[in-house]
Structure 1
Amino acid sequence: MSFRLQIIGGGNMGEALLRGLLNNNWASKDELHVVEPVSERRDYLAATISGVSISEEPLSELDSLIAVKPDKVPEVLGVLSKLNPDRVLSIAAGVRVSSMEKILGENVRVLRAMPNTPALIGKGSSGVAAGSTATDEDLIWAVEILSAVGLAMVVEESQLDAVTGVSGSGPAYLFFLAEALIDAGCEVGLSKDESQSLVEQTLLGAAALLYESDDPAEVLRQKVTSKGGTTAAAIEVFENASFRDIIRAAVFAATERSLQLGDE
């Protein structure tokens, strides 16, 4: 059997990529292989995605996608270094290309990507960067894989920390905003269910409008903010509380932490 790709790590993100690749017809079930050390997880994948090859250990001479926790990456790389893959794409946070190349050796072309959790529903955002020996063809390959679960953008590896600060951690910022809006809705008279439904649809609708509109976010905000109106009163509170500075500081903190993780 000839596999096009093995996905090492059958957790949530590995499963999302597997399903995305199948749904987008990037490969057929008999062209994909999943490596998952946890037997319960292997059983789950076998039961829910029948026909896909699954094993406990990686196979030799296969293009490989590493979708494990960062602390497991060195162990996986050590195994792969003996199995002669042509190219390896890692989506593990904070693991730099240079450290992977050092373990895998000069004959393996390495790429790195930073997706985010909306990839679990096919709405992810990913930055993709090439290692020192990766080719343009390798980048196209990596972008095709990440595009199966959303947007994939080619960046320099030095920009992946910024990608982490904006989109990698970005969903959590919006979830935090949603929490606060839901709580505030309850405090002004809505039930928890009512407030949650309104907030969910508001975020969904605003995101769709921003995506589909030719107007930038600033203009869309201005269009809904009438002088002396309710939205203007709310925006004034945000401005007085230095909301922009808070967001900026959060992005800087996440970016800096990503840099630190790469040095550890």
Structure 2
Amino acid sequence: MEFEKIEGRGIVVLGCGRMGSALLSGWLDRGLSHAAVTVIDPVPSDWLRGTGVHVNADLPEAPAIALIAVKPQMMGEALPALRALSDTLFVSVAAGTPIAAFQAAFGDDARIVRAMPNTPAAIGRGITAIVGNDAATPDDMDLAETLLSAVGEVVHLPGEDQMDAVTGLSGSGPAYVFHMIEAMTDAGVSQGLPHDLALRLARATVAGSGALAMTGETPEQLRINVTSPNGTTQAGLEVLMAELPDLMARTVAAAADRSRALRT
């Protein structure tokens, strides 16, 4: 059974906003029992109450995992609720909060995995980067991957120092793509299309291209495939490729720099 290690001891979820809810929904859909989950959330949603999991109830003494999904600014107030747990793997999906902050809260010998998912997790199409501290064992990393793969792909980082770059690229990346859809829509309108039609075309183009990008060919080759010499696509790319690489580099760098600043 996929969640066998969790079923027997249970899982505690600290915070059940968008990401916590996406993960919980994925686990339940994959067969994790409602009785195995205890959620701590000061303002539980109607959806959460309707799942049948334990909400703001007494915590198990030694759950297999405690998922930390509260906002970074709430850490100081929220983490003490987990300090009494024993022999528990702590998995954090909180942006900008380093492993050191959890070691300070739970002790240097605490087993901690830091994860950075992104919002497509809400539809099971996310990607999550994970890294563990020195105390986290290979079995801990496998368990964290099992948990997080319920909402998409999981990749392992060699070191926590790469997490800021991940935050800037895939963590914040969906917003960049959504803004591109907005910009493509506006560009279509400026060329005479009705807004609703331009939006439909832009959405479908980005969604379809994303699916095609996952088929195995490199993005470079896919671009070449659709670019006829001296054709319309080439004309457009001559404008886009002159500016987009530098713009995207500065965009990801700004987000990564902000991630670094949040932990200082």
Q: TM-score, normalised by structure 1?
A: 0.92
Displacement after TM superposition at 1:194 (Å): 0.6
Counting only pairs closer than 5 Å after superposition, residues 1-264 of structure 1 correspond to structure 2 as: 3-25=9-31, 27-39=32-44, 41=45, 43-47=46-50, 49=51, 51-55=52-56, 59-62=60-63, 63-84=65-86, 86-155=88-157, 156-212=159-215, 214-240=216-242, 242-263=243-264
Work out whether residues 38 and 57 of structure 2, in 8 Å CA contact, stay in contact via their aligned partners in 1: no
Work out whether residues 8 and 58 of structure 1, in 8 Å CA contact, stay in contact via their aligned partners in 2: no
Q: In the aligned structure 2, how far is the partner of 1:57 from the partner of 1:178?
A: 45
Q: Deviations over 1:14-38 (max 9, x none)?
A: 111001011122x212212211111
Amino acid at match of 2:40: V
Q: In the aligned structure 2, how far is the partner of 1:57 from the partner of 1:233?
A: 63
Displacement after TM superposition at 1:44 (Å): 3.4
- Taking a change above 3 Å as real, the CA distance of residues 59 and 69 of structure 1, as seen in their structure-2 partners, is farther
Question: SS state of the match for residue 200, structure 1?
Answer: helix
Q: TM-score, normalised by structure 2?
A: 0.92
Displacement after TM superposition at 1:237 (Å): 0.9
Work out whether residues 126 and 152 of structure 2, in 8 Å CA contact, stay in contact via their aligned partners in 1: yes
Q: In the aligned structure 2, how far is the partner of 1:30 from the partner of 1:101?
A: 29
Displacement after TM superposition at 1:110 (Å): 0.9
Percent sequence identity over aligned pairs? 39
Q: In the aligned structure 1, how far is the partner of 2:170 from the partner of 2:66?
A: 24
- Structure 1, unmatched stretches of 5+, are none
- Taking a change above 3 Å as real, the CA distance of residues 36 and 2 of structure 1, as seen in their structure-2 partners, is farther
Query: How much is the aligned-residue C-alpha RMSD, in angstroms?
Result: 1.7
Work out whether residues 13 and 40 of structure 2, in 8 Å CA contact, stay in contact via their aligned partners in 1: yes
- Structure 2, unmatched stretches of 5+, are 1-6
Q: In the aligned structure 2, how far is the partner of 1:52 from the partner of 1:217?
A: 43
Amino acid at match of 1:112: R
Amino acid at match of 2:21: E
Question: SS state of the match for residue 92, structure 1?
Answer: coil
Amino acid at match of 1:120: A
Question: SS state of the match for residue 214, structure 2?
Answer: helix
Work out whether residues 10 and 60 of structure 2, in 8 Å CA contact, stay in contact via their aligned partners in 1: no
Work out whether residues 8 and 64 of structure 1, in 8 Å CA contact, stay in contact via their aligned partners in 2: yes
Q: In the aligned structure 2, how far is the partner of 1:75 from the partner of 1:131?
A: 23
Question: SS state of the match for residue 83, structure 1?
Answer: coil
Displacement after TM superposition at 1:107 (Å): 4.0
Question: SS state of the match for residue 263, structure 2?
Answer: helix
Aligned residue pairs total 256
